[in-house]
Amino acid sequence: MKRLNEREAALMILTRIREENVYSHIAVREMLDRCEKEGMDRRQRAFVKRLTEGVIERRIELGDVIRRHVRKGTRIRPVIRDILQMGIFQILYMDSVPDSAACNEAVKLTKEYGKKELSGFVNGVLRNVVREKENGTPESETAETGVESLSHKYSMPEWIIRLWSDQLGQGETEKLLAALLEIRPVSIRFDERADEASVSGTIEEMVSRGVRAVKGQYFPYCYYLTGTDSLTSLPGYREGLWTVQDESSMMVAEAAGLSGGETVTDICAAPGGKSMHCASKLLKLCGGTVRAYDLSKTKAAQITRNANRMHLPNMVIGQRDALSPVPCGERGSADVLICDLPCSGLGVIGRKRDIKYHVTREQLGELADLQKKILKNAVCLLKEGGTLIYSTCTINQGENGDIADYIERELGLSPDPLAPHLPEGIAGISGDAGNRLQLLPHVHGTDGFFVARFKKTE
């Protein structure tokens, strides 16, 4: 098998995403694993990751640039479009790459993976982009609305911008859009049973390997890592000292307010971070059980592997459809019911950059309806006096606040305050009882995330 250079690896990722409809974070991770095995060093792999993710997240803007430099109606082969977008991204956003290198390497890719006779076309377009960068982008010949301008600037579909502008206002929406384009560190959670010496020793060893580690904003067991693309090879991972989890989703186990001895049921558990967090807390206290279910057999197996790695014997993991009838023996068995439900994922666009191109406005309503069906089916799992934690990784009133209203209005649960269980003074708590929290990337520095707490009362 031919050993790839950085730009070839990036092009292969983009080609696979386009042809196989694979999610970008999966395609990137698998290619980086291959590159590491083939001897590509960390700096080179970082280049592959930055280039690929940059092209994906700025696809709308890069498409606009191409249209300015080709005749209207010109048909461009998909692989040539990918090569052009890679070249343009390097010219506009990668200062470490000389413009001449971006052009020349794109020509080489065209000859190797496109059509040799199109190399002049690619070179001409990119040279024009370089001149435009030096001379300034010309004013648009057509009047743009605020939404159109933001869409071009931040490469976000117009309908998402309108959705957020209606809910947050245009000023806050632009701050959110800018935050989603920032390069995010990886968030990890240390097992709360780990002593301070183990944590500090592990962090010191990571730093000695060139990793930068910064403490989390809200929880002492959270750290943000940069400078690595091979997390599983870092100290402490295989030993089960820590796992990857965004700080926003750590709010769920905290919001549960566990005191020890509880039975926790997580009905849509994959990838398992919240369930494992609860299990770890219970073991640190005086015991308790976590039942974690997921529709996917493959994902349930992945949770099992991670639970074993994290030394969590108090987890019961299985495959189950959240819409299937609840077994009689489990009705009224849960002290805490975690409902982290299927959603549009608009809050994690900063990490899963192609979500914004896949989700549609119509799907928002469909997902809200699905959430209601799951909640209606699952609420019987709760004991009297039990706690329901509802959460999503999206920023959308129709999936968050409206579903919280449904839980109170239709399912008869009472709102229960979050403040006693979360970091003091955290911004974004709302609801008459202060039982709802919307996290926003530009405000909290986390993924976009929603969590709400309810009690089942007689």
pLDDT tens digits for range 379-395: 999 999 999 999 999 99
Whether the per-residue pLDDT at 183 is higher than 80: the answer is yes
Q: Cβ neighbours of residue 283 under 8 Å, at least 6 residues apart? A: 193, 312, 314
Among positive and negative, which fits the CA dihedral 198, 204, 207, 212? positive
- As a whole number of angstroms, the distance between CA 169 and CA 294 comes to 36
β pairing state of 263-266 and 289-294: parallel
Residue 311 lies in a domain: yes
Sequence-ordered strand ranges (E) for 178-281: 186-190, 212-215, 222-226, 242-244, 263-266
pLDDT of residue 143: 47
**Which helix or strand (DSSP H or E) is residue 394 part of?**
none
Q: Are residues 198 and 161 in the same domain?
A: no
Angle at 26 between CA 313 and CA 105, to 5 degrees: 150
Q: Are residues 121 and 225 in the same domain?
A: no
* Residue 219 CA: distances (Å) to CA of 134, 145, 351, 424: 46, 42, 21, 11
What's the mean pLDDT in 185-194?
96
pTM for this prediction: 0.92
Residue 144 lies in a domain: no
The share of the chain scoring above pLDDT 70, in percent, equals: 98
- As a whole number of angstroms, the distance between CA 188 and CA 273 comes to 10
pLDDT of residue 91: 97
Strand partners, 337: 265, 388
Q: What is the pLDDT of residues 208-253, one digit of tens each?
A: 999 999 999 999 999 999 998 889 999 999 999 999 999 999 999 9
Among positive and negative, which fits the CA dihedral 103, 105, 108, 110? negative
Q: Are residues 112 and 163 in the same domain?
A: no
pLDDT of residue 138: 64
Task: Read off the pLDDT band of 420 (50, 70, 90).
Answer: very high
- As a whole number of angstroms, the distance between CA 338 and CA 452 comes to 10
* Residue 121 CA: distances (Å) to CA of 40, 64, 81, 86, 455: 31, 17, 11, 15, 64
Q: Are residues 104 and 17 in the same domain?
A: yes
What's the mean pLDDT in 297-311?
97
Q: Which residue has the higher pLDDT, 228 or 403?
A: 403
Residue 308 lies in a domain: yes
**8 Å CB contact between 282 and 314:** yes
Residue 145 lies in a domain: no
Residue 93 lies in a domain: yes
- As a whole number of angstroms, the distance between CA 407 and CA 435 comes to 12
Q: What is the pLDDT of residues 107-163, one digit of tens each?
A: 999 999 988 899 999 999 999 999 999 887 765 554 466 899 999 999 999 999 999
- As a whole number of angstroms, the distance between CA 168 and CA 396 comes to 10
- As a whole number of angstroms, the distance between CA 306 and CA 339 comes to 20
Backbone phi, psi, residue 150, to 5°? -65, -35
Cis omega (within 30 of 0) on the bond before 185?
no
Q: Are residues 400 and 446 in the same domain?
A: yes
- As a whole number of angstroms, the distance between CA 63 and CA 76 comes to 11
Question: Which range of residues forms the domain containing residue 281?
Answer: 256-455
What's the mean pLDDT in 413-433?
95
Mean of per-residue pLDDT scores for the chain = 94
pLDDT of residue 12: 96
Q: Are residues 361 and 449 in the same domain?
A: yes
Q: In this structure, how many other beta carbons lie within 10 angstroms of the beta carbon of residue 394?
A: 27
Residue 375 lies in a domain: yes
Q: Which amino acid is at 405?
A: D
Q: What is the pLDDT of residues 71-115, one digit of tens each?
A: 888 899 999 999 999 999 999 999 999 999 999 999 999 999 988
Q: Are residues 193 and 290 in the same domain?
A: no
> Among 18-27, 80-89, 168-177, 316-325, whose mean pLDDT is lowest?
18-27
User: What's the gap between Cα 371 and its chain centre?
Assistant: 20
**8 Å CB contact between 242 and 236:** yes
185: which DSSP letter? P
What's the mean pLDDT in 272-277?
98
Q: Are residues 165 and 192 in the same domain?
A: no
Q: Are residues 165 and 190 in the same domain?
A: no
Residue 143 lies in a domain: no
| Token output for 254 | 């905290």
The closest of 357, 356, 388, 393 to 455, measured between CA atoms, is 388
What's the mean pLDDT in 197-218?
97
**8 Å CB contact between 341 and 374:** yes
Q: Say which CATH number the domain at 32 has.
A: 1.10.940.10
The SS3 assignment for 335 reads strand
Q: Cβ neighbours of residue 30 under 8 Å, at least 6 residues apart? A: none
**8 Å CB contact between 148 and 132:** no
413: which DSSP letter? P
Q: Say which CATH number the domain at 207 has.
A: 3.30.70.1170
Strand partners, 243: 189
- As a whole number of angstroms, the distance between CA 438 and CA 452 comes to 9
pLDDT of residue 156: 97
Whether the per-residue pLDDT at 329 is higher than 60: the answer is yes
Q: Are residues 174 and 191 in the same domain?
A: no
Q: Are residues 21 and 52 in the same domain?
A: yes
pLDDT of residue 338: 98
Residue 251 lies in a domain: no
What's the mean pLDDT in 417-441?
95
> How many domains in the chain?
4
- As a whole number of angstroms, the distance between CA 382 and CA 413 comes to 10
Whether the per-residue pLDDT at 408 is higher than 50: the answer is yes
How would you class 276 by CB atoms within 10 Å of its CB: exposed for 0-12, middle for 13-18, buried for 19 or more? buried
The closest of 303, 325, 324, 327 to 315, measured between CA atoms, is 303
Q: Are residues 373 and 421 in the same domain?
A: yes
Q: Say which CATH number the domain at 291 has.
A: 3.40.50.150
